[in-house]
Amino acid sequence: MEQNQQEQIHQNMQTGAVPPQMNHGGHELFDVHEVLTGTINTLNLYTLLRQHIKDPELKDILDRQYQFIQEEYNISVECFKTGMDPSKPTQSYKMKQGNDFIYGLKPSQPKKPIQSVSDITDECISSLMLGEVKAGASLKAMSTLELTNPVVRRVFADSVPNCIEMAYEISLYQNKHHYYQVPQLAPADIQQMVNGFAPAQSQPPMPH
């Protein structure tokens, strides 16, 4: 039986007729394993952090993101195994936060590592969450560039904007509570930087 399978695979490779579940390059297999393992780590960390959250708003963010990440994970696993479109379409993550950042710095205590679990705060938890989804965005974006299976590639590519949206949601939450402070340049400096570029010409220069 195994020999027949090997012969079929060899024949498929010769003819170019690769079955969907085998439509994966070697580099892709390693990348997808890394992405899926990273997603499991994110879900595991969210599970560990949830019991320590004090702010109901942060708990709501974590719960909504957990459910969304878990659904994306299941879709990714399905299409990775089958090489075909998943049974459920990919979705777009919708955050509840507004888009307004608070600018400027307020006096705060220097940050340092916690000494025990009892020291964990919502600031620490939200920072860990932010680090996870930012890492997921980078890893999925880099992996997508190397994927050969068109379905897995599309699913991973669709996931990158969702990671970005989740990171943005957490950073807005942190900013609102002054965990993530955003300094600004002086108005004159902002204007100089904003006006430091001009539109490109409509037509490329023609060679003589």
Tell me the Cα Rg of the chain: 23
Backbone φ and ψ for 19, nearest 5 degrees, come out as -65, 155
Residue showing tokens 């699913």: 155
133 lies in some domain: yes
Q: Specify the pLDDT at position 83.
A: 86
136 lies in some domain: yes
Q: Specify the pLDDT at position 20.
A: 66
- Segment 172-183, tens digit of pLDDT: 999 999 999 999
122 lies in some domain: yes
* pLDDT over threshold 90, residue 10: no
Instruction: Tell me what the pLDDT averaged over the chain comes to.
Output: 88
CB atoms closer than 10 angstroms to residue 82: 16
- Segment 16-68, tens digit of pLDDT: 566 766 776 777 888 999 999 999 999 999 999 999 999 999 999 999 999 99
Q: Do the Cβ atoms of 148 and 168 come closer than 8 Å?
A: no
201 lies in some domain: no
How many domains are there within the chain? 1
Q: Specify the pLDDT at position 9.
A: 46
81 lies in some domain: yes
1 lies in some domain: no
Distance separating alpha carbons of residues 108 and 105, to the nearest angstrom:
9
33 vs 99, higher pLDDT: 33
Q: Closest Cα to residue 64, out of 38, 42, 95?
A: 95
13 lies in some domain: no
Q: Specify the pLDDT at position 42.
A: 97
Q: How far is CA 114 from the centre of its chain?
A: 26
* pLDDT over threshold 50, residue 92: yes
Amino acid at 64: R
| Domain region containing 170 | 22-106+117-187
* pLDDT over threshold 80, residue 14: no
Identify the bridge partners of residue 103 per DSSP, sorted by sequence position: 182
**Binning pLDDT at 50, 70 and 90, where does residue 100 land?**
confident
How many helices (H) and strands (E) are present in the chain, helices listed first? 6, 0
- Residue 169 is part of a domain; what is its CATH number? 1.20.1260.10
8 lies in some domain: no
Amino acid at 30: F
Q: Specify the pLDDT at position 180.
A: 92
